[in-house]
Amino acid sequence: MCVSVIIPTFYSPYTLKISLQSIVKQTLKPKEVIIIDNSIEKKSKIIVEDLKKKLDLKIIYKHLTKDPNQTRNYASKCAGYKYLAFLDDDDTWEKNYLLNCVNLINYSDADFLYTNINIIDEIGKKISFVDLPNKINLKDLFCYNGGFFCSNFFIKRKIFLLMGGFDTNSGSADKDLAIRLVKNKFNYQINNSRIVNKRVSNYQWSNNCLSMIKNNFLFFKRYKKEVDILTKILFFKKIIKLFFRHIKKLII
């Protein structure tokens, strides 16, 4: 199976180990796993050494920026196989994820695909889920994330490189890439199986909410001319909701 898995990591040795264990359990193993450690302490080294007998792990210590999308772009150029699968260092896959993706992308002749996700808490318990819309459109991505992340994104490497990878100046690089791929008429499929686990924690919400608002405004600035007034109103409702969620977390 010609798949390169890319994992950016930054001071997350505990969750990185859990993420890697979910790759070890895959019914079809990737050809390589590229870990880009952007931290200084290199704590991932111990974890990687423990799992090298089970996976072809390549760890690159390279201090780029704290932006994981720049790291993903760098790693994609280092990758050597047909498909790219991205995994955040705090997310996991069910054991049939890669097999499912390869079968679907080959059967449908798609260039990329997204998979439905489970939302898990800090201890890995499933607390919710997100089913993606059957079609990718700007309105949905403008008003909601819609479940388009990196850990549930699977793409042909040559297409990813042709598109220039993730745009780190777009505010929401995952959504921006989805839009650009659709605009360029690349074929895609939605994998309806919920076999990707996206971790969400209270710490993440309380510390990243303002950053999310900032990034959403960058995304708004880029695409505001392409949506109608109703979509813009829905966008600002989302921003207000995020702001009050941030205030609530601070109070609690």
**pLDDT of 151 strictly over 70:** yes
Q: Given this model, what pLDDT does residue 189 score?
A: 97
Q: Given this model, what pLDDT does residue 11 score?
A: 74
The domain spans of the chain are: 3-200, 205-251
Count of alpha carbons within 13 angstroms of residue 232, beta-carbon side: 10
**pLDDT of 203 strictly over 60:** no
Structure tokens belonging to residue 201: 């924690």
- Going from the C-alpha of 154 to that of each of 27, 77, 242, the distances in angstroms are 17, 16, 28
Q: What is the torsional sign of CA 51, 52, 54, 55?
A: positive
**pLDDT of 204 strictly over 60:** no
User: Which region among 48-62, 127-141, 230-244 has the lowest average model confidence (pLDDT)?
Assistant: 48-62
Q: Which residue has the higher pLDDT, 99 or 142?
A: 99
Predicted TM-score of the model (pTM): 0.91
89-118 average pLDDT score = 96
- The 8-class DSSP code of residue 226 comes to G
Using CA atoms, how far apart are residues 106 and 188, in angstroms rounded to an integer? 11
**pLDDT of 202 strictly over 60:** no
Using CA atoms, how far apart are residues 145 and 216, in angstroms rounded to an integer? 10
CATH of domain 3-200: 3.90.550.10
